[in-house]
Structures are given as structure tokens and as C-alpha cells.
Amino acid sequence: MLKDWFSGKNEEETKDEKNELSKEEDQGTGGFFGRLKEGLTKTKKGITDRVDDLVKSYTKIDEDLFEELEEILISADIGVNTTMEVIDDLRERVKENKVTDPGEIKGLLKAILIEVLEEIAEPQLNIGTKPSLIMVVGVNGVGKTTSIGKIAHHLKKEGKNVLLAAGDTFRAGAIDQLKIWGDRSEIDVIAHAEGSDSAAVIYDAIHAAKSRKMDVLICDTAGRLHNKKNLMNELGKVFKIVNREWEGLAMESLLVVDATTGQNAIQQAKVFKEVTKISGLVLTKLDGTAKGGIVIALSRELKIPVKLIGVGEKIDDLQPFDPKAFVDALFDDGK
Amino acid sequence: MIFEGLSEKLQNTFSKLKGKGKLNEKDVNAAMREVKMALLEADVNFKIVKDFINRVKERSIGDEVLESLTPGQHVIKIVRDELTRLMGETQSKIEFGSKPPTVIMMAGLQGAGKTTTCGKLALHLKKQGKRPLMVACDIYRPAAINQLETVGKGVDVPVFSMGDKEKPVNIAKAALEHARKNGNDVMIIDTAGRLHIDTDLMDELRQIDRELNPNEKLLVVDSMTGQDAVNVAKEFNESLEITGVILTKLDGDTRGGAALSIRGVTNKPIKFVGMGEKLDELEAFHPDRMASRILGMGDMLSLIEKAEASIDQKKAKELQEKMRTQQFTFEDFLEQLEQIKNMGSIGDMLNMIPGMGGKQMKNLQVDEKELVYIEAIIQSMTPDERVNPSIINGSRRKRIAAGSGTTVQRVNKLIKQFEQTRKMMKQFGNMDKLKKKGKMNMPFFG
């Protein structure tokens, strides 16, 4: 029933587009993409089945159909505003192309969503200089430390020299958690004691990365709610130091967003973007039943590209984000 | 200020709803569209929204509009009441077993905040004179046990752990023995975050459930959760028959519609809310506050409430009549001032009115002292003067100023403003129009 969209010819086609992160995993049908598919299958079922059922129950395209499509998008956390815009767009295209068959409507809807994501797509991590820096930020509990463990593992497997900085000096156990991830991939972790100054740890790590001639430094930061002024100011201070010390070198500032999150993610992204100049998103926990539709709203409203997605708890469960694959997986009809 | 847009939208919808008496279907439908949007924006699951809207519609159409409210406000009042009702009661109690130790099991998705909440709950119980024990059953997430141990130190509550090699159910069983031996009357089991569709891990929870038969099984949910909250809550509830919910990270600015979704599918009480990263920041759940928050116009709702409680309907009607016939006197004005004072500070009131909060009003500071002066001046007038201000001549003004401890200028200003207002009131004819202009019969301020 479900189309294996990474098998056969499809795989050959998509292979070239893949981020360097995934090169090794790209080989087999299992492993990396197997897990993505597994993860997204659950995501997929929701929207696909419902669109199919819906389309079958209509013999012509009318307002009721649009309204129900609206509901389906909203139920994927795409959000009211973005949904309205997308549906308006769809309505126009139906008119322009003189579409009368309800069966064609899904293709049009898919195309619109892919466009939204592709317009700003930027799958490559900007880690071109030696050393390069990846800052990881986000609200509490989204999976920052876990994502860092996975990213570090991939870069290491690519042969890069990676260094980690335990910048979350606040949460109990956070430093140990990062150290365990470091041990798993045999990567050094620069850490101070719990409760110490986060900026100081990161400052030390920056100098360590430079003097040890590392390829990539990845810095963890404490989870913080974006509406906490003082915590955001503190993060601003960290970034001030980072920007000064890292001038002229490649840097990524990744915001980690939990796929389970609703509309609040927009506010999160807005505020974090102001303070840290977010260059990309990591969308985590896509292996649940949450659909992660919020990234469509984030792409459309804030123009922040999704770079990576988390599809499981294992160290390999991290994927480069591919807009077409993402939307295809949501809508794949097995043809 | 994020929700200002919504409040304004609702205000606009309200101003379109004219006429008094019974609510008609058209009024209701117009308001419902905005409410629906508000709920969806707040992440309430769309199915729950649909049911809810239908119920409110049914209840609203034909309902008598309260005198003090506009029809739109009245609809919102019904929405708020219904929402509060659905949200359940304030029930921040832990059910203790008849025989100690009481066993509390925490469960939830990854990153919901279980471990932190364990510590908060332990502290809460400790303050009640209990002797809690925390049990480290998250053997999967790296350093989860360390985290619980650190949290335990923070609240000075012992932590039972057996490392990450033993099965969680065995750890829990051993902990129960430990608690009995050491006189711990409550034990709180921290479990690993898991997906509701992960059958193996859900089985693990069921095992603990079977073996220890916990008194409380609390689902910990991130208040920022979106549409998926229904699936999560439904699955956990079906697998475990949870006894309650703890909503975390409510100190963020999420509207928290997940709360309604969870109630909708489980009908289990929300017992506590997490309000910060510090371990004493666990609070009781207030259904009315949550309802207001989800609607994103809480302050407007409190205003409705206050207006309902404070304004004496009959007097308001008499006043309206007096205004129309220009018989409004200082005596009436004094009475009005009393009512306004009952409603709280003017600054608060202005802030509560959607569209008036925020930027526009920031520079407009209402001097509460001004009220005191006005009151003093009116109280220094004779009954004759109050009813018939035209007799107040120069020497009377001097006397009033001296009597009220103010100046003649101030008295002059008040009388002049009063006359102007009377004229203006006549022009407007009735109070409703004044209210809609946001002037609320308070022409003396600003």
C-alpha cells in the first residue's frame, strides 16, 4: 500500500540532492531512510488517508471540499493563517487551471506546500570553514542535547573532527547527558561545573576548537522559554561573544523545534531569530503521530529553512530535510 | 500583546452586533466564527472545537442578553462559562492511599518535563508534611538518573535508583520495599519519556501499573502541544487509565489549547500546572484562568465579570433616563464614582478593554488621585448645589475649594467639565453609544 519512495529509480534521483550528512546512510534501503520512512509513515497516514477519503466522497469541487481541506491542514498544526493562505492559493489555481476533477486537487495542494518549503530550502549545513561553529538553541524539552549527539555522530562518521561544548549549565544532568553522547561517538566535550557561566564555557570551547584545529564545534545551550526576558538577554550575551570570537568563520545557529508543538512555535522562532539570527531549524520527534506542519507556517511566515529532522531516539535517527520527500510522505497515495 | 489582534477582531465583531433583547442566530454565528479561530489558534484540536462551537451555539441562540453587556460580550460570556465548565474544577489534590506508601507514577512524551515535575511534586508533598521518595525509572535517556538525583538534592528528597541496567518494573518494586522500610509515605516514580505509539515502552508502564497499582497515574503534558495532544492523551489514557494531568511550561506564552483537547478526550482532572524552572513553581490549576487564556482575551472577560457584579442595573437605567433629559446631577455623578471604584482601578479597567491595552494606552496614565479630588469637591457642595450646579457662584466656589482642600481653579474645572458633559450626554442620547466609544461615562478623565 505504502509506496517505498526511496527504492528503485526514485532513490537514484533523490540521491544526488541529498545533503552530505547522509551520504553514507544513503546506500541501503534500510538504515537511515528506512527509519525516516518508518517515522513518516505514521505522519503520512493521517493526512493521506483523510485527503483520499475526502476526495472520494466528492464528485465536484465546491466550497465544502475546500473547507474540509482547510480542516485537514489545521489538524496538521499548519495554523489558521497559513492554512487560509494556502487554501486561497489552491482556490485560485483550481480556477486558473480550470480543474473540475476533485481527484486532481491533492496534486495541486501538494505542489503549493512543496513550493512553500522549497522557496527557502537550504539543506546544507554551513560548515565550510575550518573550524566551523554550530550553535543549538530552543525552548525546554525539544531535544537539543539529543540532536547535538546525533549531528556530532554524523559529522564524525564523515571524518570530521568534532568538539562539543556543554553550554547548558543550568539543567540538572544536562552536562552529563552531553558527555554520554560524546562518549558514544568518541568526541571531546568542553564542560565547566553545573551552575557556571554558559558564556565562559562556550568561550573556552571556541578557543579550544581553534587551537586544536577542529573542523566543527557544536555548542549546547540551556533550554529557555522565549518569553523569559532575562534568559533571552543571557543568550544574547553568549551570541555577542560568539559573534566577536568567530568573525569571518562559518556558523550555523540552529533552532530546535519539537514537531508536537502547536502555534507557539511561531512565537518561539520569532523571538529566537531576533536574539540569535537563526539560520535553520531542526524539527524533532517526527516519529510520533504529530505531523510537524508548523514548519510550513515557519517557512512561509519567517522564511527559516528546515535543515534537519529527527525521526527517532537512535543515534542515526537524524535526516537532512527534503521538502519534496516531506510533503510526498504526507500525501503519498501509493501510485 | 501577541493577542491584541484577536481582541481587536472580536471587538469589531461585537460592534457589529447591535440591538438588545434575545440573541439571534446571525449574531451568534458571527461571534462563533471568531471564537472558532481563537480556539484553533490556541491549538485546541479542531474536532473538539467543532463540538464545542455547536454546543455553545445551541445554548446561545434565544438567550436573554444581560443588561450590562453587549450581545457580543454576552456570547463571549457563554463561551467562557462553557469553557470553564469543560475545564473541570480546581482539583490540585493528590489521592493518598489508605495504606502508605502512596504510589504516584509519572508518564508522558519525551521532553514534557517529567523529571522536573517529579521534583516539584515531591517538594509540594514535603511541604504538606509528607516524606516522599523519588524513584529513578528512566533507564534510557542519558543522564536522566543524574538529573533526578540533582533535583532530589535541590528539594532535599531522597532518590532511589538502581542504575540503568535493571528493568523499570523491578526498580519500582524494590523502591516500594525501600519506602516501606524507610518510612516514606509517598513515592513518586519518574519514568522515561515515550511515544504513545511505542507498544514496547507502553507495555513497560502497564507492567509497573499492574505490579504496584499506583494511587495516582499522572500524565505530564507540555502546554505548547498542538493538535496531536488528543492522540497522546487518548493513548496514554487508554493504556494506563490515568488519574490526572499536569500541564507544564505554562509560564511560556502559549495559549495552551492542549488543555481543552486533553480534557475533551480523557475527562480527567488537570491537577497542577508548571509555572517555571524553579522547583517551587508548581501551582494549582484554575479552570477559569485557563479558559480565559485559551480564548486569548482574558482581560476582557474579567471586565465583563466585573461589570456584571458591580453595576446596579436599576440605577443604571435611571441614570440613562436622567442623561437623556439632562437631569444628570453631581449627586448622580458621585454615585457613579462609587460604582467605578468598586470595579477596581481605572488604569486596570482601561487595560482590560481590548484594543485599549498596549501601545495606545501606554502613555495615558489615569491619575487615581484625581478621583479623590473630584469626590472631595462634590462632597463639599450642598445638596442644592449638587442638583443645581448653576447656583454655584464665586463665593460658593471659594467655600467648596476650602472645604475640599483643593483650589478654586480645580473647582472651576470640574464644574466646567460637568456642564460640557451634560451637553454631550444629551447629544448622545443614551449610554450604549457612550459605552461603545469606550468612554464608559467617564468624561472627566484623560
- The lowest-confidence range among A16-20, A148-152, A197-201, A252-256 is A16-20
Same domain, A145 and A249: yes
Shortest distance between the Cα of B208 and any Cα of chain A, in A, equals 22
**In this structure, are A81 and A193 located in the same domain?**
no
| Cβ contacts of A31 within 8 Å, gap of 6 or more | A25, A316
Q: What is the pLDDT of residues A173-188, one digit of tens each?
A: 999 999 999 999 999 9
Mean pLDDT, all residues of chain A: 84
Higher pLDDT, B38 or A329: B38
Task: Identify the CATH number of the domain in which residue A255 sits.
Answer: 3.40.50.300
Residue-wise pLDDT for A234-266, tens only, equals 999 999 999 999 999 999 999 999 999 999 999
Instruction: List, for residues A209-229, the tens digit of each pLDDT value.
Output: 999 999 999 999 999 999 999
Asked if the model's pLDDT at residue B428 lies above 90, the reply is no
CATH number at residue A97: 1.20.120.140
| Residue that terminates a domain, selected from A90, A119, A148 | A119
B277 vs B368, residue with greater confidence: B277
The total of structural domains in chain A comes to 2
User: Which chain B residues have a beta carbon less than 8 Å from that of A140?
Assistant: 111, 113, 249, 277
Predicted model pTM: 0.75
Residue-range domain boundaries for chain B: 4-89, 102-285, 311-436
Which residues constitute the domain of residue A92?
Answer: 29-119
Looking at the predicted structure, is the pLDDT value of residue B351 above 70?
Answer: no
Q: Which CATH class is domain B102-285?
A: alpha beta
The answer to whether residue A151 is domain-embedded is yes
ipTM over 0.90: no
Q: Which CATH superfamily is domain B311-436 in?
A: Signal recognition particle, SRP54 subunit, M-domain (1.10.260.30)
Residue B67: per-residue pLDDT = 66
pLDDT, one tens digit per residue, over B263-318 is 999 999 999 999 999 999 999 898 888 888 888 765 555 556 555 555 555 566 66
Q: Which triple of cell numbers denotes residue A228?
A: 523569559
Higher pLDDT pick, A132 / B414: A132
Model confidence at B319, in pLDDT bands (50, 70, 90)?
low
> Which of A119, A145, A161 is the last residue before a domain boundary?
A119
Q: Is residue A273 part of a domain?
A: yes
Evaluated on CA atoms B426, B428, B433, B438, the torsion sign reads negative
Q: Please indicate, yes or no, whether residues A250 and A315 belong to a single structural domain of this protein.
A: yes
- Side chain identity at residue B168, one-letter code: P
- Please state the CATH superfamily assignment of the domain spanning residues B4-89 in this structure: SRP54, nucleotide-binding domain (1.20.120.140)
Name the residue with cell 507498544. B199
Shared-domain flag, residues A191 and A74: no
Inside any domain, residue A16: no
Q: How many residues does chain B have?
A: 446
β-strand pairing of A188-190 with B270-274: unpaired
CA distance B421 to chain A (A): 43
The yes-or-no verdict on residue B10 having pLDDT over 90 is no
Q: Cell numbers for A168, please give them.
A: 547548558
Under an 8 A CB cutoff, do B224 and A262 touch?
yes
When CB atoms are compared, the residue of A80, A143, A262 closest to B225 is A262
Q: Which residues on chain B are in Cβ contact (under 8 Å) with A301? A: none
Lowest mean pLDDT among A290-304, B321-335, B371-385: B321-335
Give A98 to chain B, closest Cα distance, Å: 30
Beta carbons within 10 angstroms of residue A1's beta carbon = 5
Residue B163 burial class via C-beta count within 10 angstroms: exposed 0-12, middle 13-18, buried 19 and up: exposed
Q: Which of A119, A146, A167 is the last residue of a domain?
A: A119
DSSP of B264-324, one letter per residue? HHH---EEEEE-SSSTT-EEE--HHHHHHHHHT-HHHHHHHHHHHHH--HHHHHHHHHHHH
Confidence of residue A191 (pLDDT cuts 50, 70, 90): very high
Partner residue facing A261 (CB), from B2, B143, B226: B226
Instruction: Specify the pLDDT at position A136.
Output: 98
**Is residue A174 domain-shared with residue A79, that is, in the same domain?**
no
Whether A69 and A145 map to the same domain: the answer is no
A138 shares a domain with A102: no
Which pLDDT does position B295 carry in this prediction? 82
Q: Strand B282-284 to strand B270-274: parallel, antiparallel, or no bridges (unpaired)?
A: antiparallel
The verdict on A210 and A245 lying in the same domain is yes
Question: What grid cell was written down for B151?
Answer: 533535583
Binary contact (A227, B41; C-beta < 8 A): no
Distance of CA B229 to the CA centre of its chain: 21
Lowest pLDDT segment from B128-137, B325-334, B363-372: B363-372
The reply to whether A223 falls in a domain is yes
**Would you state the pLDDT for residue B341?**
63
Read off the DSSP letter of residue B336.
H
Pair B227, B46: CB distance under 8 Å: yes
Evaluate whether residue A1 is within a structural domain: no
CB spacing of A80 vs B41 below 8 angstroms: yes
**Chain A residue numbers touching B232 (CB-CB < 8 A):** 260, 288-289
- Provide the terminal-to-terminal Cα distance of chain A, rounded to the nearest Å: 9
Q: What is the pLDDT of residue A200?
A: 96
pLDDT for the residue B427: 62
The verdict on residue A173 lying in a domain is yes
Q: Are the CB atoms for B122 and B132 separated by under 8 Å?
A: yes
Tell me, yes or no, whether A212 and A71 share the same domain. Answer: no
Q: Are B403 and B375 in contact (CB under 8 A)?
A: no
